[in-house]
Amino acid sequence: MGNQKASSALLAVLLTAAVSACGDVGQPVDLAKVESAQRPTPQNAGPPEPGNDEPDPKCGDPTASLRPSGTDTPAGSTMAKIKERGYLIAGIDQNTYLFGFRDPSTGRLGGFDIDIAKQIAQALLGDPEKVQFRALTSAQRIDALKEGDVDVVVRTMTMTCKRWQDINFSSEYYTAGQRVLVNESSRATGIQDLRGRKVCASKGSTSIDALAEVGAKPVGVDNWSDCLVMLQQGQVEAMSTDDTILAGMAAQDPNTKIVGPRFTTEPYGIGVPKANEDMVRYVNAVLDQIRNSGAWTRSYARWLGELGSPPSPPSPTYKD
């Protein structure tokens, strides 16, 4: 009897268990489901705008400038007007580390380009500080010269035949070339290893067009330092542009390295308004002094030591 009771109780338990096990109980409820995190990107980052397919006009050697004619400043010349004003107006960059940038801790401008602008002021006005700096974007450089808003533009500006049509260039004061910046751990040894990979460059630059040509997947941003941000955040494999700019990026992050040979040549010149040929000749005379006096090498060592020991400055070519 006791046994029977026990077995019927057991049966009841088993039945209940069976019934509760039978029905579909569904999945545990997840109140806050997130499929994936949305990564932040620099504003306006994205695929590059379609490049300019117009072939560059021919002008022979784009590095050939006007022959210098001494450092005299005759009355009525552009230089005399600047002297009268009392200061030089130079278009520069405030965002490119080592070339033209504002040190956040001191608020002062510094860099290789800034040094060159100061040297011109020193020659013309006797005081390297007599410069009014105007921050320009890459896109604003030509217009600022055309409007006559600035006397010179010293801003990592590549001399091209197309630009020669709108402005004058001084003789070449620096030779840059496009290279690649990757993370220290990357196995890429040059641009050839980055085919099909995401590589960052600034929109509208010559660098981004070159990337598409070698088969990398270009990602365009507004500003060069946005590329460093994307590289640090792991959103691109590499960034690629002039080695001058890359040196500035590498200096901000010891976990990156510049790899591969230069695969383009970018001669930098100082932009001068088209009409002011006297100023071009004057600036070229100053550049000669800078090259010969060792000022060029000092400036290089101070800002660009990262790239190795200073090479000899580019020798000027003239078309008369």
- Interface residues with other proteins (CB under 8 A) are 32, 34, 37-38, 40-43, 89, 93-97, 101-107, 132-137, 222-223, 225-226, 228-229, 232, 248-249, 252-253
Q: How far is the CB of 234 from other proteins (least distance, A)?
A: 13
For other proteins, the closer of residues 73 and 95 by Cβ is: 95
Q: How far is the CB of 235 from other proteins (least distance, A)?
A: 11
For other proteins, the closer of residues 25 and 37 by Cβ is: 37
Q: How far is the CB of 14 from other proteins (least distance, A)?
A: 43
Angle between helical axes of 224-232 and 243-252 (0-180°, round to 10): 50
- Residues facing 238 on adjacent strands: 182, 199
Q: How far is the CB of 119 from other proteins (least distance, A)?
A: 18
Q: Specify whether the CB–CB gap between 241 and 211 falls below 8 A.
A: no
Q: How far is the CB of 289 from other proteins (least distance, A)?
A: 25
For other proteins, the closer of residues 67 and 81 by Cβ is: 81
Q: Specify whether the CB–CB gap between 161 and 62 falls below 8 A.
A: yes
For other proteins, the closer of residues 94 and 183 by Cβ is: 94
Q: What residue type is assigned to position 201 of the chain?
A: A
DSSP string, 202-231: ETTSHHHHHHHHHT-EEEEESSHHHHHHHH
For other proteins, the closer of residues 35 and 53 by Cβ is: 35
For other proteins, the closer of residues 33 and 58 by Cβ is: 33
Pick from 58, 60, 74: which is nearest to 318 by CA?
60
For other proteins, the closer of residues 93 and 172 by Cβ is: 93
Question: How far, CA to CA in Å, does 139 sit from each of 202, 221, 222?
Answer: 11, 14, 11
Q: How far is the CB of 118 from other proteins (least distance, A)?
A: 14
Q: How far is the CB of 244 from other proteins (least distance, A)?
A: 14
Q: How far is the CB of 52 from other proteins (least distance, A)?
A: 21
For other proteins, the closer of residues 45 and 211 by Cβ is: 45
Strand order in the sheet with 95-96: 95-96, 100-102, 109-110
The pair of three-digit structure tokens given for residue 276, joined into one six-digit string:
């002011």
Q: How far is the CB of 200 from other proteins (least distance, A)?
A: 12
Q: What residue type is assigned to position 112 of the chain?
A: F
For other proteins, the closer of residues 183 and 297 by Cβ is: 183
